[in-house]
Structure 1
Amino acid sequence: MIQHLETDGVPTLLAATGGPMRAGLTFRVGTADETLARHGITHLLEHLVLAPLGTADYHFNGATGSTFTTFHMQGSAPDIATFLTSVCANLTDLPTGRLEVEKDILRTEWSSRGSAALDDIPLWRHGARDHGLSSYPEWGLGRLTAEELRQWAARWFTRENAVLWIAGDRVPEGLRLELPTGTRQPVPTASSALPTTPAYFVHGARAVVLDAVVRRRSAASVFAEVLERELFRALRQDAGLSYTISSGYEPRGDGQAHLRALADALAEKQDAVLGGFIDVLAKLRVGRIEQSDLDAALAKRIDMYATAEADAARLPAYAFNLLTGEPNHTIDEHLAQLKTVTLTDLHEVAQEAYASALLMVPDGTSADWAGFTAAPIWSESTVSGSTYHARDDNCRLLVGAEGVSLISASGPLTVAYADCAAMLAWPDGARQLIGHDAIVLHIEPTLFDMRPAAMNVIDSGVPLDRQITMPPRDPDSLPQPGARREARPGRDSRTRPKRAGWETLLMVLSGLAALVVGGFTLLLTIGMLIEPTAEEDVAVLWGAVVVGWLLTVILALPIVLLTRGRRR
């Protein structure tokens, strides 16, 4: 049983445990409450709070998630009291002496972080804001000041916006939670960067991943387990295509939950894994769900609630619900809800999951054939403004009063200043604008025939609080016209334009015509030089030679102009 108490005005949850005492202080704030230009402020604050406690003998840590930040530890009651009291003291009087050191530590942490298949899912679903920020580097660290961190702490780390949870038999003596007064903060509204669903995007990972948004309920959590069983049976046991099969169910705090599933694949088996994955989704969507799978999933959940540590184990989730206003239930109430889940309920969840699905597919594959729409990697519109041509291809840049557009043969990329989540600015003049829809527009002055005034227009258009100064780059690393550049279509880069179809056709026809006329003229010229010709015919024939060579040059001119234009 979980007891409801209060400690210094902070709601407190207490549940018995057979192991060592552990506790956590959870606040309703995370990366989804930040902006891209200030991304990293919550994580940095967490590090600063814990930094003075680095020499303690007991085990402690902090965690910053999308919507929650927790300071937690395991140890004796006096150690827990000392730790949490110190955390609150540091939140109230933030120790900023290690500000720059902790910034460097966080940069190192990001640079050494491995790439996971799920990392880009938030970006593609939500864009460069709220829940999508977890996909981005913590670019805001550089310009964050001590005063901004103090303001952030005063707004979010308050007693009304916190819950204390303890797995133990009592609240430790001497524990003081001296926090400022504030208000309970709601979970941010989730944005969407997807015009329509079900949708898909292409990723370099050798895996197929499903992300869906469903109503939070017992049937949805059970469905996640049933989906994993179906994928395991189809892709590993029967077909031997995948090794790792996993699924997850994560409440978001707004009555919705993310349902995710993953299946890995060898490079040569990616098409087969994608096809098998979609077949499983289609099977569940039409209601072909086995009663035995439902029974097994229910038995697994029921066994979990039957352990002596069940209440202590669900304390963090209980605190989550308390902070977001979601209902909390006793174990008996959870068991009663689970026993009411039917195959019809799972069928409804399967249809919800399909309707909101975002599918990540491997390079070289697509999901159009299965009714999924490609997530947009290009913008639907362009801005009006001055035109600047690229020096080594047929791209052109439009710089206007409302925003910037990059036009290529493949499609346009547009970021309006009002919808710019952040602009990265390098001392050498390069700029990277990131829209709220996650569209990225990168400008290298070395690659465009631009005037300094154009960059001034861009810099003045993007609000100062969204501009991020980047460190200087090695001059030898700056791209130069004519150098080979990697083409990476998507929201995180621009695409090297392909030659338009009419250009290719014109060049082929022009080349063939120039070859025929030039070949005939060449033969006539050789004949005139080798064999004698009657004097009365000499002028006419040499005239034909001159006209032939002139016509050959004219016919070849489109090839020369189009090639030069592309290089420019």
Structure 2
Amino acid sequence: MIKQFESDGVPVLLAPATGPSHAGLVFRVGIADEPLARRGITHLVEHLALHSVGVADYHYNGATGVEFTYFHMRGAEKDVATFLNGVCAALRDLPMRRLAAERDLLQAEANGRTPGVAEPLALWRHGGRDYGTVAYPEWGLPAITEDDLRAWVARYFTRENVVLWVAGDALPADLRLDLPAGARRPAPAPSSALPGTPAFFPGSPGLVAWDAMVPRSTAAGVFAAVLERVLFRELRQEAGLSYIAKTDYQPVGADSAVITAIADALPEKHGAVLGGFVDVLAALRFGRIDPADVAAVVNQRAEALRHGEESAARLPAQAFALLSGRPVEDVEDALAAARAVTVADVADVAAAAWDSGLLMAPEPADWAGFAAAPLASASAVTGTAYASLEDSGERLVVGPDGVTATAGGTLTTVRFDDCVLVRAWPDGARQLFGADGTAIRVEPTLSANGPQAVAAIDARVGPEIRVGQPPREPGSIPRPRPRPVPPAGLQAAAIRVQKVLTGFRRASTRTQLSLLLKVLGSLLFAGGVAISAVALARGDSGAAAGILFLGGLGAYFAHQVWTGLGVLRRLADAEEP
């Protein structure tokens, strides 16, 4: 049974356990709290704090999550106390001399990290803020100063914003949680970059992924587990389409949760996997749920709760809940809540999850009722236009309100008052990120008057969102591709003829027949004009009227032929890679 009390002003959760003592400090701060321009600051604090602890005989570690940062150790009580005391002391006075070295270590760690398969869902749902920042690298590290770190620690690493959990008989005798005073920091409210849901966006051919925001509840956790059972059964065991079919349930703040589901697919089977995936979601949405699946999930959860209570494994999750503003849940209450979940409860969660669902699919899913998430910005800014030196269809516009890039008729806009990060290279390159997840890359070497465009951007970007980048190798700085010299003479004529023939082959049968009839009509009327001209030369007085009539019709058909040849040339151009 979990006991709850305070020590040095810090909430403590204590539960008996066998084996060496195990304890952890959990702070209510994580990636979701970080502005994108300071992405990585919490992880940097964690590394600096752990460095001060040194080497121990027992296992210890720290971790930075989406909402929480924690330090834990398993070992003898004296060593646990020494570790936790050392963490608290380090947080009060971070070893700033290690700042540059720890930045490098974090970069090395990032280079070996594999992005999570579901991270694009967070980006498309939330954009470049709060719960969407998990999808971005730790790009803020170069801009983080000692003052930034001190302010971050003072705001989040306080005794009012932490919970201590201990798996053992009692608190270590020498433990002193010497942390500064502060305030409890609630988790940020999840933002939305989507105009509506359910929605879909294009993803990898090898994966179908989906997530949904739902109210936090025991029934929602049961639904997530039922969904995994059904996906695994339908896609792997019965259809043999997917090897992996998994779900995850994660609380978000005090009252919400995100449910994520993924299924892999071979490229040639992604359509079948998508169809089967959507069919499972739809069946659960409409209440087609096997009671045996619900019963199996509830039994599994009950067994996990009993085992967790015996081993004190429930302590970290209860610490997270307490920091989120929820009461500590007794195991008997948790068991009763799980056993009370009905098929109707699961169906209610399934319906709510469908309504808020976001699907990452290898092909369009509008046929299933998912609206396409916007791939472009809704509007452009007004200002000075900078033409591309490579493509006449591309341009950059920089105005007082923001930046718009146009490519292939598609607009991407980042407004300065909604810009959350600007990466700046010494050679003038810039990359702007909007809170809605949009991004624009500006390469001054690829635009007419490019340095002028960069100067206009820099004049409107504050230092709080600008992050300097290391110099690039000269060979990696892009240069305009040389424009091809137009061919002349017979070569040009041969190319035009080839384009016309290519376009003719690619045209529809109707277009081909129409053009052939126009060519035949032109030839017939041209022949009629020639015959009338010969008759006029021999003194036939009626031939002049025939020339005028047939010549007019011939000119009309010739114009139609000329227009058709132009269509064929454009058709050939459009089909070129």
Q: TM-score range by the shorter chain?
A: 0.7 to 0.9
* 1:350 and 2:350 aligned: yes
Q: 1:557 to 1:431 in 2, by over 3 A?
A: farther
The aligned runs of 1:393-542 (5 Å cut-off) are 393=391, 394-482=393-481
Q: Which runs of 5+ in 1 are unaligned?
A: 485-503, 521-533, 535-550
- Counterpart Cα distance in 1 of 2:455 and 2:196: 37
- Counterpart Cα distance in 1 of 2:295 and 2:572: 67
How far is 1:387 from its partner? 1.1
Aligned mate of 1:388, from 371, 386, 389: 386
- Counterpart Cα distance in 1 of 2:7 and 2:146: 29
* Amino acid aligned to 1:220: A
Secondary structure, counterpart of 2:119 in structure 1: coil
The aligned runs of 1:148-167 (5 Å cut-off) are 148-167=148-167
- The equivalent residue for 1:214 is 214
Residues 199, 357 of structure 1: 8 Å contact kept: yes
- The equivalent residue for 2:374 is 376
Q: 1:558 to 1:261 in 2, by over 3 A?
A: closer
Secondary structure, counterpart of 2:459 in structure 1: helix
Secondary structure, counterpart of 2:140 in structure 1: helix
- The equivalent residue for 2:547 is none
Aligned mate of 1:367, from 361, 365, 368: 365
How far is 1:126 from its partner? 0.5
- Counterpart Cα distance in 1 of 2:445 and 2:572: 20
Residues 253, 326 of structure 1: 8 Å contact kept: no
After the TM superposition, list the runs of 4 or more consecutive aligned residues in structure 1 that deviate by more than 3 angstroms.
Answer: 308-311, 554-564
- Counterpart Cα distance in 1 of 2:373 and 2:459: 31
* Amino acid aligned to 1:442: R
- Counterpart Cα distance in 2 of 1:440 and 1:344: 43
The aligned runs of 1:218-257 (5 Å cut-off) are 218-257=218-257
Q: Which runs of 5+ in 2 are unaligned?
A: 484-502, 524-536, 538-558
Question: Which string of whole-angstrom CA distances, capped at 9 and with x for unpartnered residues, describes residues 220-255 of structure 1?
Answer: 111111101110110011101111111111111230
Secondary structure, counterpart of 1:97 in structure 2: helix
Computed over aligned residues only, the root mean square deviation of the Cα atoms, in angstroms, reads: 3.0
- Counterpart Cα distance in 2 of 1:205 and 1:71: 39
How far is 1:140 from its partner? 0.9
Secondary structure, counterpart of 2:71 in structure 1: strand
Residues 208, 263 of structure 2: 8 Å contact kept: yes
Deviates more, 1:30-39 or 1:80-89: 30-39
- Counterpart Cα distance in 2 of 1:181 and 1:56: 29
Question: Which string of whole-angstrom CA distances, capped at 9 and with x for unpartnered residues, describes residues 409-454 of structure 1?
Answer: 3410000000001011111111111000000111111211125332
- The equivalent residue for 2:2 is 2
- The equivalent residue for 1:71 is 71
Secondary structure, counterpart of 1:209 in structure 2: strand
Q: 1:76 to 1:124 in 2, by over 3 A?
A: same
* Amino acid aligned to 2:466: Q
Secondary structure, counterpart of 1:423 in structure 2: strand
Percent identity over the alignment is: 51
Secondary structure, counterpart of 1:307 in structure 2: helix
Residues 160, 182 of structure 2: 8 Å contact kept: yes
- The equivalent residue for 1:89 is 89
- The equivalent residue for 2:17 is 17
- The equivalent residue for 1:487 is none
TM-score by length of 1: 0.85
- The equivalent residue for 1:27 is 27
- The equivalent residue for 2:489 is none
* 1:313 and 2:319 aligned: no
Q: 1:349 to 1:308 in 2, by over 3 A?
A: closer
TM-score by length of 2: 0.83
- Counterpart Cα distance in 1 of 2:310 and 2:261: 25
- The equivalent residue for 2:495 is none
- Counterpart Cα distance in 1 of 2:327 and 2:81: 29
Secondary structure, counterpart of 1:84 in structure 2: helix
How far is 1:307 from its partner? 2.2
- Counterpart Cα distance in 2 of 1:109 and 1:148: 22
Q: 1:289 to 1:561 in 2, by over 3 A?
A: closer
- The equivalent residue for 1:264 is 264
